[in-house]
Amino acid sequence: MSRPAEQLPVPVTAPRRAPSRTPAARPQPASPPQHRRRARRGPTSAFWIFSAVLVTAMVVGVASISALLVRSSFEVDRLGRSIAGLEREHEELTRTVAEVSSPSRVQAWAHRHGMVMPAEVVVLTVPGTGPQEAGG
């Protein structure tokens, strides 16, 4: 009934391996190739040229503005002196006008030229311009 153990066929199987502890490799998602960039070592010559031009422009701009301010300051001082001189001249001319138009001087001039005071003063009124019609 039973066969001896020697006669039983032995199944042929692959030798067993120890289970791997690393997970199965996953397939990488398809992505476009990325270009590797070179590591930057420092600023390039274009950066230095641009910086030099920019700094030079700023220095020239500040110097120009400073020169304009100094020139404007001198111009303001010159105009202030001119105004002071014109104010003195205006005061002198105003004084001269007051002296020339004083009533005593006008009377002396008129007397030298043969003019006399009238004996009777007559006031003439023009119709339509009198004080009674000024109010309305």
Q: Does 21 fall in a domain?
A: no
Q: Does 121 fall in a domain?
A: no
Q: Does 118 fall in a domain?
A: no
Angstrom distance (rounded) from CA 128 to CA 44: 95
Tokens of 32: 């476009």
| pLDDT tens for each residue of 13-37 | 666 666 566 666 676 666 766 777 6
Instruction: Work out the widest C-alpha separation in the chain, in whole angstroms.
Output: 186
Model pTM score: 0.42
Is the Cβ–Cβ distance between 127 and 133 less than 8 Å? Answer: no
Q: Does 105 fall in a domain?
A: yes
Residues composing the chain: 136
For residue 70, the model assigns a pLDDT of: 97
| pLDDT tens for each residue of 46-91 | 999 999 999 999 999 999 999 999 999 999 999 999 999 999 999 9
Q: Does 40 fall in a domain?
A: no
Q: Does 107 fall in a domain?
A: yes
Q: Does 62 fall in a domain?
A: yes
How many domains would you assign to the chain?
1
What does the mean pLDDT of the chain come to? 83
Angstrom distance (rounded) from CA 9 to CA 5: 9
Tokens of 130: 């009198």
For residue 22, the model assigns a pLDDT of: 64
Query: Where in the sequence is the domain holding 62, given as residue range(s)?
Result: 45-113
Q: Does 79 fall in a domain?
A: yes
Q: Is the pLDDT of residue 96 over 50?
A: yes
Tokens of 52: 């030099």
